[in-house]
Amino acid sequence: MTEFLQSLPVYIALLAALLNLVRRQWSLNLVALVVQFICVFPPLLKILPLQLALIHPFTGLMVTLILYLTLLGVGGIKAIDLRHTLTSGELFRGAAGVFLLATLRAFLPQIHQAVFPLVSIDHLFLSLGLILIGLLQMGTIREPFYLAIGILTFLSGFELLYSGLEFSFLLEALLVAVNLLLAIVGSFFIIKDSESEAA
């Protein structure tokens, strides 16, 4: 039971990432993004002191806030509609995401042993899972908002993985800057698109 509870954030984070990959509802995506960032915190806490482990989720929250405020500004925030039926594209993305995660899970012990023996299995699963889902998101979607989410997911996975390997204040500072800038760029795109549509 304890083991399951320890792994729970990993699965929730991956589920949130999958949700972002599949669904196209801005409000829902922002909520999923927040959940994804928060769920990264417990694995980080296992390897880093509290103050350092907090940096990543805190940055994530800031990023989500920037995107939220931008969407609010352009009138993109609407009530979440959970009854919406899945389209074929959503089904495809969902299936592809699940397939990737299942494949990753199957080969995880070998990857762990051969490349990242110092990182725990759960930690590795979450980080590589986020990387793969982020990659899939980046590779299949052209809309700026979802691309920003894809990049943020990808980077989130990578940061998690790298923090399991080594830690540097300078690198952490730079990555925080990248995340925040990415959110600003995402907002920039959203505003530009809404301006073009209005014109």
Partner 1 sequence: MILFIILGVLFLGSLIIVITHSYRPNTARSWLIAMVTALVAWVASFVMRLYLPSEANLLTWFPGTRYGEILGHFVDYNNWPYMVAVLSMCVAALLADVTRTQPGITHYSWSQTISITGLNLLAILSANPLTMAIAWMITDLVELYSLLRLSKAAELSSKIVNLFAIRIFSTFMLITATSIAWQGEPFLGFEVMHPNASLFFLLAAGLRLGVFPLNLPILDSPELRWGAGTLFRLTPAASAMVLIAHLPEGLTIFNQNLLNIFQVLTLIAAFYSSLMWLTRKTQFEARPYWMVTLSAFAIQSALNGHPEASRVWGLALLLSGSLLFLFDPPIRRIRFLPLLGLLGFIGLPYTLAASGWEGLLPDTFNFTSVILILTHAFLVLGYIRFIIKADSTVTGLEKYARITFPLGLVTLIQTILVLGLVGWPGVLTVGSLLGSLSSLALVLLGLLVGWRLGFNMETETISQRFPPYRLISTIFNFFRKVLSLDWLSNLVNRAYTSLSGLMAFFSEILEGDGGILWSVVFVVILSILFLAPGR
Partner 2 sequence: MSNTVIIWIVLPALLGLSLIFIQRLPKLSAVLGTLFPLVFAGLALIFSRGLTLIFIGRVFTLADSLTIFGRTIQITADQLGIIALLYMLCFAWNLVGRLFIVSQWFNSLSLVITALWVSVQFINPFLYSAVVIELIALISVPLLSPRGTPARSGVLRFLSMQTLAMPLILLSGWMVSGIETSPSAEALVLRGALLVIAGFSLWAGIFPLHSWLPMLTEETHPWVISFLQTIMQIGLAFFSLKFLNQYAWLRNLEEIKIVLKWVGALCLISAGIIVTFQRKLSRIFGYLYLSGTGYIVLSMAFQQQGWLNLLTLYLLPRAFGYWSLGYALSLMHEALGSEALRLSELKGLIWRYPRISILLLCSLLNIIGMPLFSLFPSHRIIWSVLASESLPIRLLIGFGLIGMIIMFLRVLAAAIQPAGVINDDKQERAVLIVPVVMIISLMVLGGLFPQAFSTPLQDLFISFQNLLP
Least distance between partner 2 and beta carbon 90 (Å): 20
**Given 100, 166, 167, 198, the residue binding partner 2 (CB under 8 A):** 166
**Residue placing its CB nearer to partner 2 in the complex, 11 or 158:** 158
- Closest by alpha carbon to 161, among 108, 197, 199? 108
**Given 38, 128, 149, 151, the residue binding partner 2 (CB under 8 A):** 151
Region of 25 (left: φ > 0; alpha: ψ -120 to 50; beta: rest) is beta
CA 135, 137, 143, 145 dihedral sign is negative
Using CB atoms within 10 Å of the CB of residue 61, give its burial: 0 to 12 exposed, 13 to 18 middle, 19+ buried.
Answer: middle
Least distance between partner 1 and beta carbon 138 (Å): 5
* Separation CA 9–CA 130 (nearest Å): 13
**Given 18, 32, 39, 136, the residue binding partner 1 (CB under 8 A):** 136
Q: Hey, which residues between 84 and 143 contact partner 2 (CB under 8 A)?
A: 131, 135, 138-139, 142
Least distance between partner 2 and beta carbon 4 (Å): 30
Site string for partner 1, 139-158 (x = CB under 8 A): xxxx----------------
If one counts every other C-beta atom within 10 angstroms of the C-beta of residue 198, the result is: 7
